[in-house]
A and B are shown apart, each in its own frame.
Chain A
Amino acid sequence: MSNDQIITLAHGAGGEVMQQLIDKLFLKAFNDKPLRQKEDQARIPLAELHAKGDRLAFTTDSYVVSPLFFPGGDIGKLAVCGTLNDLAVGGAQPLYLSAGFIIEEGLSLTLLEEIVYSMAKTAKEQGVSIITGDTKVVERGMADKLFINTTGVGVIPQSIQLSAANARPGDKILVSGFIGDHGATVMLARDNLGLHSDLQSDCAALYPLINQLLLQHTHDIRCIRDVTRGGIGGVLSEIAQASNITIELDEVALPVRSQTRGICELLGLDPLFLANEGLAVFVVDHQHAETVLQLMQQHPLGQHAQIVGEVTAFSINHLHLKTRYGARRIVNVPYGLQLPRIC
């Protein structure tokens, strides 16, 4: 396909042009047997799933990031990692993905190719197959360049029982790395701030780290959640609510890069509510927290992991922050988007 081609409504109209797009781009890039068979559905042998565990994990997510490319990733990599992470934090081994594309007419075919191959590469690295998909093209102005939906299927081994409702007083809260990297990077990539930094999105698939930790600490890890849009603050508030406990964070222990902190201070944003795309929080039995932390720090995906807080009381669903001066304040989840302050 030539470089100057663009996506037109014909690419989604079900005719020859659409077939060409499917054959020459999607089938070639994803190159999976069920996909190549071109049935209306992918068929997954049950026996193969059953051998891996006793529960199917099934999740879906849509990706609408702008810009499509940002330091550390692109919408394709994000669409694969995000859904795989949703499976992995439940203890599931991710196995299959679907990929649905909603494309605004006029999108460069070269860009689409780059994104699709980025998805294929990320899935392959994780040993996951993209086995079914869909393409729609909408008129200009009806979508912002490209939206991707991915649905993931995985299997949870019998021994693993993770839940946001499992946190108990005394448990420690661990994060696997720096908070807010993705949110800060994308804000800068939008290029209306006039700021520059060497920040990169943390966009990554976390299964390799989670699997290694769960293999050795199946029962010491009570809950894992990946940190996305609502930031670490959003995720921990959900855990506090689900377990009916209070979580107290230690401001000094929170891993925040100085660039991220600088951007937040300039705009009046709270890094606790900035997005990540390759970060997880773990609630761990306090007796094993240090061992889990050390193991995490030895893994490339958890080098900057820290113990950032603990579960402090029963029956109140709050998130607290102990400031560096020893004061305590409630951390309230913002109503919607964080809005930059005027001064």
Chain B
Amino acid sequence: MKQAMNFRDPHRVNRLIKCIQAKAAPVAERLGRPLQIMEVCGGHTHAIVNTGLNQLLPSSIELIHGPGCPVCVLPTHAIDQAVALAEYSNHILVSFGDPLRVPGSQHSLLDAKAKGAQINTIYSPLDALKLAKSYPNKTIVFFAIGFDTTIPSTACTLQMALQQGISNFRVLCHHICLIPVLMTLLKQQEIQLDGFLGPGHVSMVIGVQAYKPIVQKYHKPLVIAGFEPVDILHALYKLVQQFSTQKYAVQNAYSHVVSATGNQPAQQAINEVFISGVDAKWRGLGLVPISGLSIRPQYRSLDATLLLEKKYCTKQESDPTYCKKVLTGSLKPQHCPWFGNKCTPHHPQSGLMVSSEGACAAFYSSSTKAKQG
């Protein structure tokens, strides 16, 4: 905690804001508009709103909350599958806490739990494995979601389950990868982003080099940031410096955690267990090419989708069109016609309003207008 407090020091925060202001003003003047910077990661969104950094930044910088909140982009059919598995007799579905309130086409996991489905909240997939050992007569299904950050722990858990011959353990895999969605975002015509604050935890796994194609192909700068205010501002300063010199590159402002090539054993575990490059559906964004993973044939006996009836595997769905605009940065949460009325944290229409990392829920928390509305 003491070390973390150094990265929260108000004096350092103020000094960095002044430095950013000095560098960003001439750039914004040259562009004739504020710089549009997307913080990709939901953890950054949460930190920025919670500390109020968005209010302290100069008007020459506009932060766009990105799609990097795994709970927010969970597609409806993923929730439907999890609910169906939880409702099977003799099954226990185990999940991280925050997917429980995401609406499915009929209901959320919390609703299903209230109606009698067996759903346990866990903090690590290893807890799911422990549960499988404790209840050998029940099937334990782990609802595996999250970006590159949480994929290694699912991979290792699957490896352990196979090694230890735990036959009553299954994984419902809805993991997704971040780089493909950044590429997809940048391909869109209407998007007007100048650069990215890169995610800290994802980068810890995939490494700095993984982002190079983004800069090479789209000439947008990306700076990897940690999650404390000083980390975030330091990264923003590096971004603004790049705009100032108009030389764009991937930079690492979280070098105490992130390395050039990332976590090699984690990457090996992922490759051993999963086939990457599978198309995946994201709530709000639709089908994102090569952003998903599937479980390799040698782990197929642990794949929970085999337990599902066919209707749960092919379901088509339509998302509110506003969510896509918010996720791509072309609509601000507060300008969505549903914001604060049809869609609130109490009655979310999508994951964006569920997780405190979601763009809409984060903005709702910080907005006085939201509550009055």
Contact = CB atoms under 8 A, between A and B. Distances in A.
Interface of A: 192-193, 258, 261-262, 265, 267-268, 316, 318, 323-332, 334-336, 339-343
Interface of chain B: mostly helix, strand, loop or mixed: helix
A267 B356 contact: no
B123 A340 contact: yes
Contact of B51 (A265, A325, A336, A343): A325
Contacts of A330: 365-368, 370-371
A214 B176 CA distance: 58
Nearest to B372: A316
Interface of B: 1, 4, 8, 10, 13-14, 42-43, 46, 49-56, 70-71, 96-101, 110, 121-123, 127, 145-147, 149-150, 201, 229, 345-346, 355-357, 364-368, 370-372
Given A330-B367, A332-B345, A335-B345, A258 B56 contact: no
Contacts of B56: 325-327
Contacts of B201: 343
Nearest to B68: A343
A329 B355 CA distance: 17
B10 A193 contact: no
Contacts of B96: 340-342
30 contacts: A192-B123, A192-B127, A262-B1, A267-B123, A268-B46, A268-B98, A316-B372, A323-B50, A323-B51, A324-B8, A326-B52, A327-B51, A328-B52, A328-B55, A329-B50, A330-B366, A330-B368, A332-B345, A335-B101, A335-B345, A339-B98, A340-B97, A341-B46, A341-B97, A342-B71, A342-B96, A342-B146, A343-B147, A343-B149, A343-B150
Nearest to A335: B346
B98 A341 contact: yes
A327 B43 contact: no
A282 to B, nearest CB: 25
Nearest to B57: A327
A332 B100 contact: no
Given A325-B51, A340-B97, A342-B96, A192 B122 contact: yes
A298 to B, nearest CB: 29
Contact of A268 (B13, B52, B55, B356): B356
Given A193-B123, A332-B364, A339 B100 contact: yes
Contacts of B49: 329
A328 B49 CA distance: 10
Given A325-B13, A327-B53, A335-B346, 18 more contacts: A265-B4, A268-B46, A326-B56, A327-B52, A327-B54, A327-B55, A328-B55, A329-B49, A329-B55, A329-B366, A332-B365, A336-B110, A341-B96, A341-B98, A342-B97, A342-B99, A343-B70, A343-B147
Contacts of B150: 342-343
Contact of A339 (B4, B101, B364): B101
Nearest to B365: A332
Contacts of A267: 97, 123
Contacts of A262: 1
Contacts of A324: 8, 10, 51
Contact of A261 (B1, B42, B51, B364): B1
A327 B47 CA distance: 13
B228 to A, nearest CB: 10
Nearest to B95: A342
Contacts of B127: 192
A340 B127 CA distance: 15
Contacts of B357: 341
A327 to B, nearest CB: 2
A193 B355 CA distance: 21
Per CB-CB distance, the 8 closest pairs between chain A and chain B, nearest first, are: A327-B52, A339-B97, A340-B97, A327-B55, A323-B52, A329-B366, A342-B96, A258-B1
Contacts of B43: 343
A197 to B, nearest CB: 12
Contacts of A268: 46, 98, 356
Contact of B365 (A265, A329, A342): A329
Contacts of A341: 46, 96-98, 355-357
A343 B368 contact: no
Contacts of B356: 268, 341
A334 B110 CA distance: 15
A267 B122 CA distance: 11
A336 B346 CA distance: 9
Of A192, A324, A339, A343, which is in contact with the most chain B CB atoms at under 10 Å from its CB?
Answer: A343
A334 to B, nearest CB: 8
B220 to A, nearest CB: 24
Nearest to A324: B10
A330 B372 CA distance: 11
Contact of A329 (B14, B52, B101, B110): B52
A337 B13 CA distance: 33
Contacts of A316: 372
Contact of A332 (B14, B146, B147, B371): B371
A193 B303 CA distance: 26
Contacts of A192: 122-123, 127
A261 B13 CA distance: 21
B138 to A, nearest CB: 16
B344 to A, nearest CB: 9
A136 to B, nearest CB: 24
Nearest to B54: A327
